[in-house]
Amino acid sequence: MKLYTFVIISTLLLIQLSLILADVGTASSYGPPYIPTACDGNRREQFPPGNIFVAVNEGLWDNGAACGRRYRVRCVSGINKPCKGGTSIDVKVVDSIACTKSSSCPHTFHMSTEAFSAISRFPHANINIEYIQI
């Protein structure tokens, strides 16, 4: 019985720890054409299976060092409850969010249509997310 209790408590602590280490941000969806990207130009091989990828804001871009980084992303809230039951997905960075002087870049991630639909019920929602680099 003690071992069972220990396993349960350890699991709960690890879950809480992962939530504590996560950053928060916002995300939206973007659709094709996805190329060229700032990471690998016109190479189609850069995209992971299922097209589960993102473009990141300037804060995460890190002068291109973000290319290929992977993040675990989970929708936490948004208008009209867009999140799909706390589902998290693993995404790959393939691009930076293009910002101009006339438009601000309010989102942390622009997610491919496929990635966004994996965590949000609404394709054109703006969602609040938790994310952690993996």
Residue type, 129: I
Which of 24, 128, 130, 19 has the alpha carbon at shortest distance from 82? 128
Residue type, 6: F
Residue 11's pLDDT band (cuts 50, 70, 90): low
**Tens digit of pLDDT for each residue in 13-60?**
555 544 568 999 999 999 999 999 999 999 999 999 999 999 999 999
Q: Does residue 94 surpass a pLDDT of 60? A: yes
**Tens digit of pLDDT for each residue in 56-88?**
999 999 999 999 999 999 999 999 999 998 789
Residue with tokens 């990141």: 56
Report d(CA 42, CA 37) in Å as an integer. Answer: 7
